[in-house]
Amino acid sequence: MFLPTTLEEVKRMGWDALDVILVSGDSYIDSPYIGAAVIGKLLARAGYRVGIIAQPDVSGTDDIGRLGRPRLFWGVTAGSVDSMVANYTALKKKRRSDDYTPGGVNNRRPDRATIVYTNLIRRYTRQAKRCPPGHTESPQISQASALDPGVPNNPPPILLGGIEASLRRVAHYDYWDDALRRSVLFDAKADYLLYGMAEQAVLELAACLRDGRDPHDLRGLCYIAKEKRTGYLELPSYETVARDKQAFIEMFHTFYQNNDPLRGQGLCQKHGDRWLVQNPPAATETQAELDAVYALDFERAQHPYYEAQGPVRALDTIGFSIPTHRGCYGECNFCAIAVHEGRTVRWRSPESILAEAEALTRHPGFKGYIHDLGGPTANMYGFECEVKLSRGACSHKRCLYPAICPLLKIDHQPQIDLLRQVRRIPGVKKVFVASGIRYDMILCDRAHGDDYLRQVVAHHVSGQMKVAPEHTEEPVLAVMGKPGTGSLLEFKRRFDQLSQQVGRQQFLTYYLIAAHPGCSEYDMQRVKQFASQKLKIHPEQVQVFTPTPSTYATLMYYTETDPFSGEALFVEKDPRRKERQKTIVTDRPPRISPSGKGRP
């Protein structure tokens, strides 16, 4: 069942008011991959009356006011992707397409959507407060005000969530401003922010607001306070880090290290004469909680109100895919998953995944293909480090870099079993593993690594398998926190061998990054050489590095310093030279025609 998006739908449900209104930068796609849909349906299952306004028109308040005001709170998210990443390329050019917008044209998600939507709600609230029900200038708002619970001097609070808010929760470098920005809570002037995967926290917050209890102690919550909070670690102030890059490096280390649900402490950061308070991280979801999320009755379709405006391309990939787990301990320095989802992997039970796969076969649009069965890293399903589970992730070392930690007992058997069971379900023709695979983990698992790869090669790829070495030069790989080329070449050898054994002509596709901190044009020439000599390919999947908020690589980009050694680091900042780093690898040499045309 879809959540209501219009006044007529609210009335059809027999509701006289909404408890929660969610505002999202994505279209309303009712899918377990879309945060607003997950949060909305979880709240609805807990008994709250929830409506969704997706991609509101920001030119006026009619659209944001079309459902009236909620009784408990507004929830605001920029959507599945940070709005600046969604709207601009790595070279800061405007993107034309958006996979989460009806029709695919990038014309509905404003820059800094979290801030824009919050301002819009405040404007609407002020406007609705001035005009009694039935007397607003807009007929749409006038109608919706009939649903307004009417607490004129106490407007419902605004809660921020989603990846944009989560990664911008403390002072952070913003590539598009080329400057440090304050916590988004200050810029948006919202009341609360829930960071990370906030399903359980949002239920707790809703219960507090419903019961009139103070929510300020909830784990996973950020808020603004007049005073510093006793017992919390103090980060250098926004003003200090904005003028002192070394202080920003120290701030980021403290921020990153206090992201663990078992070890993380509360943090405070002064902004002007007020404080950003970040409570310790919420506990990771239990398996029962995860299973309950994915047992919700998602339609796996765009809501008809938005479908009428055009299809969304995102459904081509997420429509019939199944998430098996969350979190990643890969900690590649350019990736934000460790900060947003956490370093602890937690996974769904096989029963829950099989039930979802069986439900897919009954969906009218299902053609027999599960497009992905995976998570942030496909082969992290079903095992975790016991030390991490009992004491939290180590602060002084990483699980996979520079070498795989011996305490991480890698075991591909649970995933082998899962893949086997899913592909046996009647109605399932093929199950793809499209999520990235850590090949160093496969090589490390002497008991089951080869069997896992054999299963994947024989049943779960179609012609091409994507791998993400990201680079081939050891100094750049070290800056990225990625494994060396030795494991890549060994993996390629086994992949080719197994493909041959199962009688399939299959290839590896390599994802690479250009202009990452520490990478020069010379390094990219070496990548090209390595690709043609050792991998026997001409790479096409090369992306210019984007400094997204709250990653170590972004910290390196801004400070031009290796934050672990303190040494100066080369960083390419000129857009043309960044592009050249990419084209060094992707440009094919000019064809020489028999007449000699094209010869330099």
- Per CB under 6 A, residues contacting ligand SF4 are 385, 387-388, 393-394, 397-399, 405, 407-408
298's enclosing H/E stretch is none
User: How far from chain centre, in Å, is Cα 597?
Assistant: 48
CB-nearer residue toward ligand SF4: 388 or 494: 388
Structure tokens at 382: 């079903």
Structure tokens at 362: 């009954």
CB-nearer residue toward ligand SF4: 71 or 346: 346
CB-nearer residue toward ligand SF4: 257 or 506: 257
Kindly state the smallest distance separating residue 384's Cβ from ligand SF4, in Å: 8
CB-nearer residue toward ligand SF4: 276 or 408: 408
Distance CA 90, CA 532 (A): 26
Kindly state the smallest distance separating residue 388's Cβ from ligand SF4, in Å: 4
Distance CA 511, CA 164 (A): 24
CB-nearer residue toward ligand SF4: 396 or 597: 396
Kindly state the smallest distance separating residue 405's Cβ from ligand SF4, in Å: 3
Distance CA 296, CA 363 (A): 14
Kindly state the smallest distance separating residue 65's Cβ from ligand SF4, in Å: 48
CA-wise closest residue to 19 among 127, 107, 151, 199: 151
Q: What's the CA dihedral at 159, 161, 164, 167 to 10 degrees? A: 100
Distance CA 228, CA 232 (A): 8
CB-nearer residue toward ligand SF4: 40 or 481: 481
For 299, residues 6+ apart whose C-beta sits below 8 A from its C-beta are: 1, 2, 30, 31
Kindly state the smallest distance separating residue 126's Cβ from ligand SF4, in Å: 49
CB-nearer residue toward ligand SF4: 84 or 328: 328
Distance CA 62, CA 144 (A): 10
Distance CA 518, CA 567 (A): 11
Q: Indicate the residue type of 334.
A: F
CB-nearer residue toward ligand SF4: 161 or 449: 449
Kindly state the smallest distance separating residue 343's Cβ from ligand SF4, in Å: 7
CA-wise closest residue to 258 among 353, 338, 156, 371: 338
Kindly state the smallest distance separating residue 450's Cβ from ligand SF4, in Å: 22
Kindly state the smallest distance separating residue 521's Cβ from ligand SF4, in Å: 35
Kindly state the smallest distance separating residue 387's Cβ from ligand SF4, in Å: 4
Q: Indicate the residue type of 286.
A: T
Kindly state the smallest distance separating residue 442's Cβ from ligand SF4, in Å: 17
Coil, strand or helix at 269: strand
CB-nearer residue toward ligand SF4: 294 or 329: 329
> Cα–Cα distances in Å, from 102 out to 27, 55, 82, 84, 114?
7, 10, 18, 19, 20
DSSP state, residue 135: -
For 85, residues 6+ apart whose C-beta sits below 8 A from its C-beta are: 546, 548
- How deeply is 274 buried, as exposed, middle or buried, from its count of CB atoms within 10 A (0-12, 13-18, 19+)? middle
Kindly state the smallest distance separating residue 232's Cβ from ligand SF4, in Å: 24
CB-nearer residue toward ligand SF4: 379 or 581: 379
DSSP state, residue 462: B
DSSP 36-63: HHHHHHHHHHTT--EEEEES--TTSSTT
Residue with structure tokens 């082998």? Answer: 416
Residues in the chain: 600
Count CA atoms closer than 13 A to 553's CA, side-chain side.
28
CB-nearer residue toward ligand SF4: 131 or 394: 394
CB-nearer residue toward ligand SF4: 233 or 394: 394
Kindly state the smallest distance separating residue 291's Cβ from ligand SF4, in Å: 25
